[in-house]
Amino acid sequence: MYKASKEIKEKLLVADIIVEVRDARIPFTSAAVAEFSQLTSHMTPKIILLNKSDLLEPMLLTKAMRRLAENDLKGSLRYVLPFSCKQVKPSHISSVLDTLAGVPVRRRLKSLPTKVIVVGVPNVGKSSFINLMQRHCRNRWKDIPLEHTIDDSGVAKVGKHPGVTKHVTGFVVSHQPYIYMLDSPGVMYPRVDSWESGMKLIITGCIRDHSTDSLAACQFLLNMLIERKDSVAMSKLGIEIDDWSISAHQVLRKVAHRIHAFQKEDKEHQQENEDLLRTCIYILRKFRQGSLGCFPLEE
């Protein structure tokens, strides 16, 4: 963990622009806040990329972007862009490139590349985004070498250079202006300031769940679906609900029956907890894949 923090620190120090990837379904809860204030200058421009926007209705996405702009970005120079690595839209890529090109950075000298680092809490799609940009840029500039290393002075060079003590690797995303994206993301910690935030982070996979958490997180999710009277999501779980006063535990049992999670030979119900846990993992996986439909977890 210490090593990871040290690496992020070093990368943030060389970065001219920070792209913070967040999960569009939890635009506030998936903020990578932990080290930001200590490690970055207030002057470093930040772009917030609301990834996984394919898992949110367009109207809600617009709302989330507006709320972020109103609440989260006061007084600092930031941009909020929608993105989806799963349903890639050329307009998303071009708006990222245009925004990067237009961001006023401290030193935009022709000889020095503007260095962009991608950061975010786990599982928000940082690597997917970097890989996608790398593929796009490789196709765009077929004849120009795109893989570089950068030494401490910020000069990008092709190939490996002996004598360069610290270097970061990445690829060119734009030649005019000269913009370079580091190819390894900075993984940061989320802020878990309430039980509810923790549940949302587990549901979306930003925090790894252990068995007890899976049960609690799944029940949290099912309660949300019950509250929303979300018959579409329920039908995707293979069940129908006639009376919405049903409890999360009852829904869980219904799904367990539906997927035949209960073991037939377990007449004494000794395995029941394990069977329900397997069902929770099944439900959470479906949600994370977007198979339960598009809905926000934050109002």
Chain residues in the site for ligand GTP (CB under 6 A): 51-52, 54-55, 84-86, 120, 122-128, 185, 187, 290
Output the smallest distance, CB 208 to ligand GTP, in A: 9
Angstrom distance (rounded) from CA 76 to CA 42: 7
Q: Which residues contact 190 (CB under 8 A, 6 or more apart)?
A: 29, 30, 31, 32, 33, 34, 121, 197, 201, 206, 207
**Opening angle at CA 112, ends 47 and 7, nearest 5:** 60
Nearer to ligand GTP, 157 or 285 (CB): 285
Residue 71 counted as an annotated binding residue: no
Output the smallest distance, CB 138 to ligand GTP, in A: 18
Output the smallest distance, CB 173 to ligand GTP, in A: 17
Output the smallest distance, CB 87 to ligand GTP, in A: 7
- C-alpha dihedral (126, 130, 135, 138), degrees to nearest 10: 180
Nearer to ligand GTP, 65 or 156 (CB): 65
Nearer to ligand GTP, 8 or 179 (CB): 8
Contact, 94 vs 61, CB < 8 A? Answer: no
Nearer to ligand GTP, 123 or 197 (CB): 123
Residue 205 counted as an annotated binding residue: no
Angstrom distance (rounded) from CA 38 to CA 123: 23
Q: Residues forming the annotated binding site for GTP?
A: 51-54, 123-128, 186
